[in-house]
Structure 1
Amino acid sequence: MSGEGAVVDCNENNENEKLERVLREKKWAERKARRFFRYISLTYTVFFLIEPILRHERDAWIALAIAYPIFLISFIAAAETRGRTRWVAYTVLFAVGYAYLPFNAGASGLFVYPVAMLPFILKNPRKALIAMGAQVSGMFVEMAIFQLNHWSVFIGVFFVVVITLTNMYYAEQERSNAKLKLANEEIEHLATVAERERIARDLHDLLGHTLTVIALKSELAGKLIASDPNAAASEIAEIQQTSRKALAEVREAVLGYRSQGLSAEVDRARKTLATAGIKLVCDGLPNELPIAEETVLCLAVRESVTNIMRHSEATEVWMQFRFRDGRLHVTVADNGKGGVKEEGSGLRGMRERVEALGGRLSIQSEVGTQLTIDLPQGAATV
């Protein structure tokens, strides 16, 4: 069994490594594609050449030669850096736009580049809208002061608004996807923890019960081996059978425990208690129950029988199943010494399973011990 576990762990590790590698490659491909489109957008700066070419003035070319390198350096810094350096680069981008616009109205497209990246930096969409509004207002103010070509400025404003709003949508979608990814990771983590707790509870119930039976039968076989070897051999054969069955149940618990049925569990409890000289009386056993409820009740019966055999010193046990007001009431009582003061891990696991189905569990242990389970029930029949 340890060899199988090692193989499973190895396979799981390989699958996790493959998944992480695929995710890294996917993230790298997305960054590469985004960087490609970011820099390919620089081809639109050819429109900055229109006015210097049409004006045929040296001052226009000098202004372009000064403004364009500053714009290009600031754009690269804003795209590739983080923190304070990025914000300084953004500030320079806006400043270059305002400083160069009076010399070249066609350069209104300079403002598109910082606002295209701004929604991905500002987590608050309102701040991005305020920044866009301030930028558009500044462009109109410069148009009025320097008597710039209205159409050139209007076209720049149009692209600034459209690209800002479009990128705001994509930025918000990207943030929502990131939140969804974090939520999914948290759900996966909680599901893993819950599954580990389920396996721990089920293994406790399965092994606790089975090991108790094996201990009792081993003790009985030891007493009979001298006086009645045939009976001792029979007990040892049952121990072997119980051990094999326990191994199968442990495997089922790891994969997801499914009970053989409440009726089979009660029959097993009757035989187990009989081994310790305890009589079981059962009344009102349901013929059919939903799988989740039946599994919980089977494990509750098993844990109860294990505790009775270990601690109660009882001679008789009563189990009763009753349906009242759409609920299933289950009672397991014994005539033992009682005195249960604290819940062990088995009883805590039982309570957690019952409460997970919206039920209640109570224990009275003054004279003997009585365990009561109350479950909401609508699909069961008697």
Structure 2
Amino acid sequence: MKITSILSFGGTGAGERPSRRRRLAGMSVGLVYLCFPVLDIVTGEVTGAAAFWGALGLAAYIASFLTTALTPRDYGELTPLTWCFMGATTILAVVLPFFFGGGWLTLPIYTTVVYSMALRPLPAMLGMLAMGAVVVLIGLLEEHDPASTVVLLFQVATLGVLFMSVRNTRMLVVQLRQAQEEVARLAAGEERLRIARDLHDLLGHSLSLIVLKSELAGRLAENGSARAVAEIHDIESVARQALVEVRDAVSGYRQRGLAGELDGARAALEAAGTQVTVRIAGTPLPEALDGLLGWAVREGATNVIRHARATRCVIDVTHDGEATTLEIVDDGRGASPYGPGSGLNGLTERVAAAGGTVSAGPRESGFALRIAVPAAGGPGA
């Protein structure tokens, strides 16, 4: 993963144009210490051709320094153009103090800042040592006050370390923002999966019931039975309920529990001509398990209606305080009506998240779906 490098003062890399303006403004303030070589020229300490070349060299250094600082690049991966400008900055930071001395020794300090903000830690440290050596060497050659040389050397070291820390901090900020964006992307993907899974569970059950009742209403209408009107009203009611449940699922507020799903499964199976027996044993279920088993009953009943062609279905729920089991057994065709499909996959994911297991397979006569979940289970357990 490439991380955009942030150099100099101001800006966090968000929005390249505003960031560059802020960085340029910050560096313009920071360049105030170049007043010392400027004063050498203005006050006449450097005169004649030396003043001309000094002014030209100083202008070239400032241009090279700013261009190096503002050139877009990836962290630790400078472009050839940036290397050229950094090389020019380095040469000028060595040559100009060598010829003019005095206040021109601020140039190696600025160059150290460039190294610290643009290079990886090891090359930046080597550059800092090189600029420190330049300060010491020129101080000895020009016979500067040892105290002044020590102060300049101290500035090279402290500013180099300081801006390396600033660079590292800003890299961490960029990485944090990228991590936040990745978390948001993953959360959005997970939410899409949740909605898709919930819609499958909801619509599969409701649409199966609507199809069955529509077929029944059609047959009754052909025979002139008055029950056709009642079945049509039931279809309308189921469709309206499905619409409400879809809205709730999309909003994330759907809280229909086991009792409601058992009633719905009984109604749907009986409408399909399947005799239903529901047996519940044990203490009341915890809220998390109540919702989980509600989803399981919905999925199991839907698949019995769709695939089993059963005449009898038994739903057993047992909760003994330590474990909870749900079994849905039918006397249908016996071939697996559950897989491979998104319904069983989604149910398996839900149960696995609660620390439970799902098993499904044919029996001597019919098919059985069994779910076992620890009493402490539940989504997110």
- TM-score using structure 1 length: 0.84
Match of 1:376 in 2: 374
Pick closer, same or farther for the CA change 1:119–1:320 going to 2, 3 Å: farther
Instruction: Supply the distance in 2 between the matched residues of 1:302 and 1:45 (Cα, whole angstroms).
Output: 77
Letter in 2 for 1:270: R
Letter in 2 for 1:157: L
- Does 2:67 correspond to 1:71? no
From 136, 158, 161, give the equivalent of 2:157: 161
Match of 2:70 in 1: 80
In the TM superposition, residue 150 of structure 1 has moved relative to its aligned partner by 2.5
Match of 1:206 in 2: 202
Checking the alignment, whether the CA contact within 8 Å between 1:282 and 1:319 is kept in structure 2 is: yes
From 321, 328, 332, give the equivalent of 2:324: 328
Q: Structure 2 matches for 1:1-382, cutoff 5 A?
A: 28-51=17-40, 53=43, 55=45, 58=48, 61-62=51-52, 64-82=54-72, 83-102=79-98, 103-122=100-119, 124-227=120-223, 229-284=225-280, 287-291=284-288, 293-323=289-319, 326-340=322-336, 342-367=339-364, 368-378=366-376
Checking the alignment, whether the CA contact within 8 Å between 2:356 and 2:377 is kept in structure 1 is: no
Q: Secondary structure at the match of 1:363?
A: strand
Instruction: Supply the distance in 1 between the matched residues of 2:329 and 2:61 (Cα, whole angstroms).
Output: 84
Instruction: Supply the distance in 2 between the matched residues of 1:88 and 1:339 (Cα, whole angstroms).
Output: 73
Instruction: Supply the distance in 2 between the matched residues of 1:183 and 1:38 (Cα, whole angstroms).
Output: 30
**Structure 1 residues 56-65 or 190-199, which shifts more?**
56-65
Q: Deviations over 1:161-195 (max 9, x none)?
A: 22222222221111111111111111111111111
Q: Deviations over 1:128-163 (max 9, x none)?
A: 222212221232233334433323332322222222
**Structure 1 residues 300-309 or 340-349, which shifts more?**
340-349
Pick closer, same or farther for the CA change 1:149–1:51 going to 2, 3 Å: farther
Q: Deviations over 1:97-131 (max 9, x none)?
A: 22122322221111122222333322x32332222
Letter in 2 for 1:358: G
In the TM superposition, residue 246 of structure 1 has moved relative to its aligned partner by 0.9
Q: Deviations over 1:193-235 (max 9, x none)?
A: 1111111111111111111111111111122224453211111
Q: Secondary structure at the match of 1:207?
A: helix
Structure 2: segments with no counterpart, 5+ residues? 1-11, 73-78
Q: Secondary structure at the match of 2:373?
A: strand
In the TM superposition, residue 239 of structure 1 has moved relative to its aligned partner by 0.8
Pick closer, same or farther for the CA change 1:126–1:299 going to 2, 3 Å: same
Instruction: Supply the distance in 2 between the matched residues of 1:57 and 1:99 (Cα, whole angstroms).
Output: 18
Q: Deviations over 1:235-256 (max 9, x none)?
A: 1111111111111111112111
Pick closer, same or farther for the CA change 1:316–1:65 going to 2, 3 Å: same
Instruction: Supply the distance in 2 between the matched residues of 1:162 and 1:25 (Cα, whole angstroms).
Output: 28
Instruction: Supply the distance in 1 between the matched residues of 2:114 and 2:375 (Cα, whole angstroms).
Output: 57
Q: Secondary structure at the match of 1:336?
A: coil
Equivalenced residue count is: 356
Question: Quick check: which one's helix share is greater?
Answer: 1
Structure 1: segments with no counterpart, 5+ residues? 1-22
Instruction: Supply the distance in 2 between the matched residues of 1:24 and 1:112 (Cα, whole angstroms).
Output: 25
Instruction: Supply the distance in 1 between the matched residues of 2:91 and 2:146 (Cα, whole angstroms).
Output: 21
Pick closer, same or farther for the CA change 1:151–1:63 going to 2, 3 Å: farther
Q: Secondary structure at the match of 2:313?
A: strand
Pick closer, same or farther for the CA change 1:221–1:24 going to 2, 3 Å: farther
Q: Secondary structure at the match of 1:319?
A: strand
